[in-house]
């Protein structure tokens, strides 16, 4: 007895099943779909391995190839692991982790035989979706991943459907419905699951490949390369009035050391107390900075407020404590036209007056002449700016290539240059004339998006200008480019270079689709704001702004449970209504009436008895209306199971017969 | 799992799923749902994704984690719904001879306007059968089970389960049907009738209203007799209600007697008796069965045959509630 019970376990697992051909193809396709857009992020040999594995498994599935033996697979898996390690010198982290996951999934494809293996592969494909987001979180990636999610889920549903007659279209609709039903629940979880600030453990600083942006040194040609990039550097939402275009100087790294060829950034200490004199009201704004792989946070000249996890150094540059490898959003205040460095230390002033004495002799000579000629330092500055403006200097994206004594050759021979040429030679001239000078790199201007009411600053807005130190005035911004090409500063880079390069400005580029493109950029901006940057602080401020009393994690969980139960409750109601029982057909209702009549005269149809046996039982008992009863049962069977065309008429006949019993 | 817990779980299931006759409706109290092994794996995957999302502060990874969590929640409900309201009917299996296949015919039907995919049926440890049921329709599954032992059995619990749509959850009902299964002893191929079993009657049998080949005459109609045997011809001639009687030739009649068959094991003797019942019924002879403690009077007819066969089949079967086990190979 006990023994018999034991095998009668009420919980049971389903025995192992061999996967059919169709399922294997579906899973291969699924994997290909999930991995294809990763090929750019993977070493070539891993991509080739994926293609090899998929090709082999498909041919094997068609019967052209034999399966890879287990004894061959084990060393292959080992070599795969070693290969990944040799490639990255690690097996953890984003890139190596992805490569390892891909290699192992490929081998799993080769050895999959049964239903269970395929389900594991499906789960690995779900995991692959997540790895895409470590490389990009853009809207396009999200759209592609939704498609991938549908494909994977369709395959999963197909594997569990066990009905080969169902069309692919129906399957796609079914799984899309499943995903569509998941979306509201996902949204509730996304908004309300209390966020914990990361990271939980150290992550290596793996950068996105090929980031364009400012660098920590400046030499001719560096910024003009940046100008060719259409990429967005950051977007700015102004919380107060938008400053005029010519005031939009976005401060980045400051270069103070000059080697004769290049300008270098000098490491400076943080300052604890801001020493700023300004008469202007503060400008408040929020920057959404695209990842730049560096520590620099761009701020409007001059930032007067710190943001979280950052400091301001003695150059008044805002420095992040962590490298910006993900989109970063911060709100701060700046004051335009403010004076800084009134009490600059002498050592630094000395450093910013130095120049290599053995290169650029002509420039040094001119500087010294100017120092002798003018008493007032501002007169020297004016003289040089006038020189840039009146002589034949040209602001161009394609300056001639210069090698030795770059500043001399630019100032006295070619006279064609880009902002870095002007800023560099101006700063050197100042130093030779005895004025401390340095170069500030960053961005100037930006394009205002009227649709979304924010400013788009692109890499092409990159700029370099100078700051000179004057007694009682501190560091004063002087932009020599403005002297050469005022339109660069007043109207932006694209107007200044209209002849040389097609514009990146949406306004200039696409008069027809302008608004559409602004809307698209605006969408990206909101995406950054609401999706990518939705972290703990955003969550808190959003819920606070809703003003419905959600203040802490406990409230969030209560709200979440409430919303989840209402969503699932409404699903339940909807499906209950949609799938409510079909109204029984007329002959069924009639037959039930007949059965009730029969039971009233003592013939109960047993549950396990079919109509034929029921009739036989009635026949044996020899009752009077046997023939009519036989007619009823036969007619009912014919309507229900037989192929008759005049079922309406027959049903009426059935009603008549039953009424007479 | 400790035996005690296992047993208490089994008893709990047995108490909550009493055997039923004919058909069983899968309602909320009869349906159970638990994550499958893949469900647990999936939960682990979600946890890893969640930690990775926190660590990399990656919003889209959060979106994916929550999306898959939502998919899990929806499929929990969908899997349960896929069985809810399904009615399972077992058509009483026909008695079979030992060694033949016993056929269980299950009908699954529902009235809801939805398709139910991948509804699995599993009897004991047999390979499951999967069915799709059209909106408001029904589907039939015939499970064939090899018999290995004569006797009367009760069917084991049938598992009706589903993992549709995502395979993350396993919803099931455990259905026990209260209908006995009869397995007759396997008849012998070369059964020879022995003289000792045969009782010869001399002359003619008694007159009867029903049996017999020869018309024996008319007699007075008695109330309660069937109207079919009234001689309407005589009635028409004004002779009143008369009943036709018949007489047949004497036929040998049998006593299939346990004590007369002495050679062979119990099973062999029962098999021989079974063959004799079939033989006698085919020859239209009267026969009776004598088993220790049981005597079935001489008769013919299908009902009589069944009574004899089942008496032989259940002879000396101690446990009538024995589970019906399929043969394992």
Q: What is the DSSP string of B293-318?
A: TEEEEEE-SHHHHHHHHHHHHTTT--
- CB-based burial, B163-176: b 16+ in 10 Å, e otherwise: bbbbbbbbbbbbbb
Among the partner-chain residues B69, B91, B319, the one whose CB lies closest to the CB of A189 is B69
- Are A33 and A136 found together in one domain? yes
- pLDDT tens sequence across A471-492: 888 899 999 988 888 888 777 7
CA distance A105 to A368: 70
Average pLDDT, stretch B196-224? 59
CA distance A352 to A366: 18
Tell me whether residue A614 is in a domain: yes
Yes or no, beta carbons of B61 and A197 under 8 Å apart = no
Q: What is the pLDDT of residue A294?
A: 85
Find, in chain A, the residue whose alpha carbon is nearest to that of B156.
A8
- Are A490 and A624 found together in one domain? no
Residue B237 confidence (pLDDT) above 80:
no
Query: Residue A455: pLDDT band by 50, 70, 90 thresholds?
Result: very high
Q: Across chain B, what does the average pLDDT equal? A: 82
Number of other residues whose CB lies within 10 A of the CB of residue A265: 20
Find, in chain B, the residue whose alpha carbon is nearest to that of A13.
B36
Yes or no, beta carbons of B118 and A198 under 8 Å apart = no
For residue B172, list chain A residues with Cβ-Cβ distance below 8 A.
Answer: 10-12
Residue A386 confidence (pLDDT) above 80:
yes
Tell me the shortest Cα–Cα distance from B70 to chain A, in angstroms.
5
Average pLDDT, stretch A262-282? 80
For residue A195, list chain B residues with Cβ-Cβ distance below 8 A.
Answer: 54, 62
Give, for B131, the enclosing helix (H) or strand (E).
strand B129-133
- Are A628 and A488 found together in one domain? no
Residue A203 confidence (pLDDT) above 90:
no
Domain ranges of chain B: 21-184, 195-313
Residue B114 confidence (pLDDT) above 60:
yes
Residue A9 confidence (pLDDT) above 70:
no
Per the structure, how many domains does chain A have?
3
Average pLDDT, stretch A619-626? 74
- pLDDT tens sequence across A230-249: 888 999 999 988 998 888 99
Q: What is the pLDDT of residue A10?
A: 47
Q: What is the pLDDT of residue A574?
A: 92
Query: Residue B250: pLDDT band by 50, 70, 90 thresholds?
Result: low
Find, in chain A, the residue whose alpha carbon is nearest to that of B178.
A608
Residue B102 confidence (pLDDT) above 80:
yes
Average pLDDT, stretch A41-59? 93
Tell me the shortest Cα–Cα distance from B203 to chain A, in angstroms.
32
Average pLDDT, stretch A457-470? 91
- Are A395 and A492 found together in one domain? yes
Tell me whether residue A422 is in a domain: yes
Q: What is the pLDDT of residue A153?
A: 95
Q: Is A299 helix (H, G, I), strand (E, B) or coil?
A: strand
Query: Which residue has better confidence, A83 or A206?
Result: A83
Q: Are A156 and A118 in contact (CB under 8 A)?
A: no
Tell me the shortest Cα–Cα distance from B191 to chain A, in angstroms.
32
| Among A133, A151, A166, residue at a domain's last position | A166
Residue B203 confidence (pLDDT) above 50:
no
Tell me whether residue A306 is in a domain: no
Residue A405 confidence (pLDDT) above 90:
no
Yes or no, beta carbons of B128 and A14 under 8 Å apart = yes
For residue A578, list chain B residues with Cβ-Cβ distance below 8 A.
Answer: 113-114
- pLDDT tens sequence across B79-93: 999 999 899 988 878
Q: What is the pLDDT of residue B80?
A: 95
- pLDDT tens sequence across B142-180: 888 888 888 888 888 889 999 989 999 999 999 988 888
Residue with tokens 């037989």: A642
Find, in chain B, the residue whose alpha carbon is nearest to that of A16.
B127
Q: Which of residues 53-82 of B touch A (CB under 8 A)?
A: 53-71, 73-75, 77-78, 81
Average pLDDT, stretch A39-59? 93
Average pLDDT, stretch A615-639? 79
Residue with tokens 């994997």: A31
CA distance B304 to B294: 14
Query: Which residue has better confidence, A3 or B144?
Result: B144
Average pLDDT, stretch A443-464? 89
Q: Does B295 contact A at CB distance below 8 Å? A: no
Tell me the shortest Cα–Cα distance from B84 to chain A, in angstroms.
11
Q: Are A154 and A175 in contact (CB under 8 A)?
A: yes
For residue B78, list chain A residues with Cβ-Cβ distance below 8 A.
Answer: 178
CA angle B299, B300, B301 (to 5 degrees): 135
Residue B43 confidence (pLDDT) above 60:
yes
Query: Residue A367: pLDDT band by 50, 70, 90 thresholds?
Result: very high
Q: Is B320 exposed, middle or buried (0-12, 13-18, 19+ CB in 10 A)?
A: exposed
Yes or no, beta carbons of A532 and B63 under 8 Å apart = no
Yes or no, beta carbons of B167 and A156 under 8 Å apart = yes
Among the partner-chain residues A8, A161, A608, the one whose CB lies closest to the CB of B164 is A161
Q: Does B136 contact A at CB distance below 8 Å? A: yes
Among the partner-chain residues A130, A201, A607, the one whose CB lies closest to the CB of B89 is A607
Query: Residue A7: pLDDT band by 50, 70, 90 thresholds?
Result: very low
Among the partner-chain residues A134, A174, A610, the one whose CB lies closest to the CB of B58 is A134
Q: What is the pLDDT of residue A2?
A: 37
Number of other residues whose CB lies within 10 A of the CB of residue B326: 18
Find, in chain A, the residue whose alpha carbon is nearest to that of B92.
A608
Residue A454 confidence (pLDDT) above 60:
yes
Least confident of A130-134, A160-164, A491-495: A491-495
Which candidate in B51, B54, B59 is best for mutational testing of the A interface (most A CBs within 10 A)? B59
Residue with tokens 């604890």: A272
Tell me whether residue A154 is in a domain: yes
Residue B59 confidence (pLDDT) above 70:
yes
From B294, B274, B300, B280, select the one nearest B205 (Cα to Cα): B300
For residue A201, list chain B residues with Cβ-Cβ distance below 8 A.
Answer: 55
Least confident of A251-260, B26-35, B243-252: B243-252
CA distance A296 to A301: 14
Q: What is the pLDDT of residue A39?
A: 92
Q: What is the pLDDT of residue A149?
A: 95
Q: What is the pLDDT of residue A100?
A: 93
Kindly state the tokens that stand for B281.
């019924």
Q: What is the pLDDT of residue A416?
A: 87
Q: Are A336 and A280 in contact (CB under 8 A)?
A: yes
Residue A462 confidence (pLDDT) above 70:
yes
Q: Is A468 exposed, middle or buried (0-12, 13-18, 19+ CB in 10 A)?
A: buried
For residue A185, list chain B residues with Cβ-Cβ distance below 8 A.
Answer: 66, 69-70, 73-74
Query: Which residue has better confidence, B212 or B72?
Result: B72
Q: Does B124 contact A at CB distance below 8 Å? A: yes
Find, in chain B, the residue whose alpha carbon is nearest to that of A606.
B22
Q: Which of residues 146-185 of B touch A (CB under 8 A)?
A: 156-157, 159, 161, 163-167, 172, 174, 179
Phi (first) and psi of residue B57, to 5 degrees: 45, 50
Torsion of CA A160, A162, A165, A169, to 10 degrees: 0
Say what percent of chain A tops pLDDT 90: 34
Yes or no, beta carbons of A186 and B66 under 8 Å apart = yes
Q: Across chain A, what does the average pLDDT equal? A: 85
- The enclosing domain of A475 has a CATH number of 3.10.620.30
CA distance A454 to A86: 46
Yes or no, beta carbons of A581 and B112 under 8 Å apart = yes
For residue A115, list chain B residues with Cβ-Cβ distance below 8 A.
Answer: none
Query: Residue A187: pLDDT band by 50, 70, 90 thresholds?
Result: very high
Residue A374 confidence (pLDDT) above 50:
yes
Q: Which residues, 6 or more positions from A260, have their beta carbon under 8 angstroms from its beta carbon?
A: A355, A356, A358, A359, A360, A406
Tell me the shortest Cα–Cα distance from B88 to chain A, in angstroms.
11
Find, in chain B, the residue whose alpha carbon is nearest to that of A185.
B70
Residue A293 confidence (pLDDT) above 50:
yes
Parent domain of A641: 586-659
Q: Are B144 and B116 in contact (CB under 8 A)?
A: no
Q: What is the pLDDT of residue A5?
A: 39
Yes or no, beta carbons of A193 and B66 under 8 Å apart = yes
Tell me the shortest Cα–Cα distance from A374 to chain B, in angstroms.
57
- Are A351 and A496 found together in one domain? yes
Yes or no, beta carbons of B111 and A584 under 8 Å apart = yes
Question: B21-184: which CATH number, 3.40.50.360, 3.90.1330.10, 2.60.200.20, 2.60.40.10?
Answer: 2.60.40.10
Tell me the shortest Cα–Cα distance from B200 to chain A, in angstroms.
32
Among the partner-chain residues A94, A185, A199, the one whose CB lies closest to the CB of B57 is A199
- Global pTM reads 0.79
Residue A435 confidence (pLDDT) above 70:
yes
Residue B219 confidence (pLDDT) above 80:
no
Q: Are B23 and B90 in contact (CB under 8 A)?
A: yes
Q: What is the pLDDT of residue A607?
A: 61
Among the partner-chain residues A165, A572, A608, the one whose CB lies closest to the CB of B92 is A608
Residue with tokens 């002359």: B203
Residue A113 confidence (pLDDT) above 60:
yes
For residue A141, list chain B residues with Cβ-Cβ distance below 8 A.
Answer: 60
Tell me the shortest Cα–Cα distance from A126 to chain B, in angstroms.
9
Which candidate in A132, A190, A607 is best for mutational testing of the B interface (most B CBs within 10 A)? A607
| Maximum average pLDDT range among A48-52, A258-262, A451-455, A509-513 | A48-52
Q: Which DSSP letter does residue A82 get?
A: H
Average pLDDT, stretch B96-120? 88
């Amino acid at each position: 007895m006990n023994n018999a019970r034991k095998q009668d376990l009420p919980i049971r697992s389903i025995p192992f099943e061999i996967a059919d051909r169709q399922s294997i193809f579906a899973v291969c396709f699924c994997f290909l779909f999930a991995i294809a857009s990763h090929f750019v992020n993977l070493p070539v040999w891993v991509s080739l391995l994926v293609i090899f594995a998929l090709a082999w498994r498909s041919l094997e599935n068609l019967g052209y190839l034999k399966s890879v033996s287990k004894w061959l697979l084990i060393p292959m898996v080992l070599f795969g692991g070693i290969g990944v390690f040799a490639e990255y010198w690690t097996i953890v982290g984003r890139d190596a982790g992805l490569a390892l996951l891909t290699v192992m999934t490929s081998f799993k494809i080769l050895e999959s035989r049964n239903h269970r293996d395929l389900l594991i592969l499906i789960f690995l494909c779900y995991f692959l979706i997540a790895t895409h987001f470590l490389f990009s979180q853009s809207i396009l990636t999200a759209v592609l991943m939704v498609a991938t999610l549908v494909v994977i889920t369709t395959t999963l549903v197909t594997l569990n459907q066990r009905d080969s007659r169902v069309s692919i279209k129906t399957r796609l609709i079914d799984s899309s419905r499943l995903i569509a039903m998941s979306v509201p629940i996902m949204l509730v979880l996304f908004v309300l699951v209390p966020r914990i600030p990361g990271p939980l453990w150290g992550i290596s600083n793996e950068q996105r490949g090929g980031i364009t942006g400012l660098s920590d040194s400046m030499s001719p040609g560096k910024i003009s390369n940046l100008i060719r990039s259409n990429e967005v550097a950051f977007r700015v939402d102004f919380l107060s009035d938008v400053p005029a275009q010519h005031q939009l100087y976005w401060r980045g790294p400051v270069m103070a050391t000059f080697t004769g060829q290049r300008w270098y950034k000098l490491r400076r200490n943080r300052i604890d107390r801001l020493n700023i004199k300004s008469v202007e009201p503060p400008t408040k704004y929020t920057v959404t900075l695209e990842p730049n792989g560096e520590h620099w946070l761009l701020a409007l000249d001059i930032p007067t407020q710190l943001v979280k996890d950052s400091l301001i150094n003695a150059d008044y540059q805002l420095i992040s404590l962590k490298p910006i490898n993900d989109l970063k959003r911060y709100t701060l205040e700046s004051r335009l036209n403010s004076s800084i460095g009134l009490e600059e230390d002498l050592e630094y002033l000395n450093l910013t007056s130095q120049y290599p004495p053995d290169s650029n002799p002509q420039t040094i000579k001119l500087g010294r002449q100017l120092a002798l000629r003018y008493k007032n330092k501002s007169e020297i500055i004016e003289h040089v700016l006038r020189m840039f403006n009146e002589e034949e200097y040209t602001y161009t994206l394609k300056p001639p290539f210069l090698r030795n004594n770059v500043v001399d050759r630019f100032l006295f021979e070619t006279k064609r240059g880009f902002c870095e040429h002007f800023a560099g030679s101006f700063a050197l001239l100042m130093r030779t004339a005895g004025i401390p000078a340095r170069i500030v790199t960053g961005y100037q201007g930006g394009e205002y998006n009227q649709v979304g009411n924010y400013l788009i600053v692109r890499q092409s807005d990159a700029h370099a200008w100078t700051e000179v130190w004057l007694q009682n005035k501190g560091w004063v911004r002087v932009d020599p480019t403005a002297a050469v090409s005022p339109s660069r500063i007043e109207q932006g880079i694209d107007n200044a270079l209209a002849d040389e390069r097609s514009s990146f400005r949406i306004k200039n580029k696409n008069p027809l689709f302008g608004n559409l493109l602004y809307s698209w950029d605006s969408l990206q901006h909101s995406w950054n704001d609401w999706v990518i940057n939705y972290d703990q602080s955003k969550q808190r401020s959003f819920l606070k702004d809703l003003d419905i009393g959600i203040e802490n994690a406990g409230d969030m969980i209560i709200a979440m449970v409430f919303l989840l139960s209402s969503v699932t409750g409404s699903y339940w109601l909807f499906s209950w209504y949609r799938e409510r029982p079909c109204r029984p057909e007329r002959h069924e209702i009639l037959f039930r009436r007949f059965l009730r009549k029969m039971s009233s005269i003592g013939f109960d149809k047993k549950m396990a008895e079919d109509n034929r046996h029921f009739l036989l039982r009635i026949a044996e008992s020899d009752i009077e209306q046997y023939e009519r009863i036989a007619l009823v049962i036969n007619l009912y069977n014919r309507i229900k199971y037989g192929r008759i065309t005049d079922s309406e008429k027959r049903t009426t006949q059935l009603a008549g017969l039953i009424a007479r019993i | 799992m400790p035996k005690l817990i296992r047993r208490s779980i089994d008893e709990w299931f047995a108490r909550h799923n009493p055997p039923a006759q004919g058909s069983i409706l899968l309602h909320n109290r009869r349906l159970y749902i638990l994550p499958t092994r893949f469900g647990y794996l999936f939960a682990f995957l979600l946890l890893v994704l969640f930690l990775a999302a926190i660590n990399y502060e990656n919003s889209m990874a959060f979106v994916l984690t929550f999306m898959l969590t939502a998919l899990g929640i929806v499929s929990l409900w969908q899997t349960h719904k896929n069985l809810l309201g399904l009615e399972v009917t077992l058509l009483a299996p026909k008695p079979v001879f030992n060694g033949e296949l016993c056929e269980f015919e299950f009908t699954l039907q529902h009235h809801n306007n939805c398709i139910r995919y991948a509804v699995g049926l599993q009897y004991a440890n047999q390979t499951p059968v999967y069915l799709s049921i059209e909106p408001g329709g029904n589907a039939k599954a015939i499970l064939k089970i090899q018999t290995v032992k004569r006797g009367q059995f009760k069917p084991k619990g049938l598992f009706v389960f589903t993992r549709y749509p995502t395979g993350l959850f396993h919803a099931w009902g455990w259905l026990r049907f209260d209908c006995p299964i009869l397995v007759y002893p396997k008849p012998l191929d070369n059964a020879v009738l022995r003289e000792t079993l045969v009782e010869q009657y001399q002359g003619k049998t008694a007159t009867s209203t029903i049996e017999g080949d020869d018309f024996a005459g008319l007699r007075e109609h008695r109330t309660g007799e069937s109207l079919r045997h009234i001689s309407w011809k005589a009635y028409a001639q004004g002779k009143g209600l008369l009943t036709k009687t018949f007489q047949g030739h004497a036929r040998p009649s049998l006593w299939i007697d346990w004590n007369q068959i002495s050679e062979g094991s119990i099973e062999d003797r029962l098999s021989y008796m079974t063959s004799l019942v079939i033989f006698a019924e085919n020859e239209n002879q009267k026969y009776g069965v004598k088993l220790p403690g049981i005597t079935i009077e001489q008769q013919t007819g299908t009902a009589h045959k069944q009574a004899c066969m089942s008496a032989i089949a259940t002879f000396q079967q101690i446990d009538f509630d024995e589970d019906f086990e399929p043969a394992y190979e």
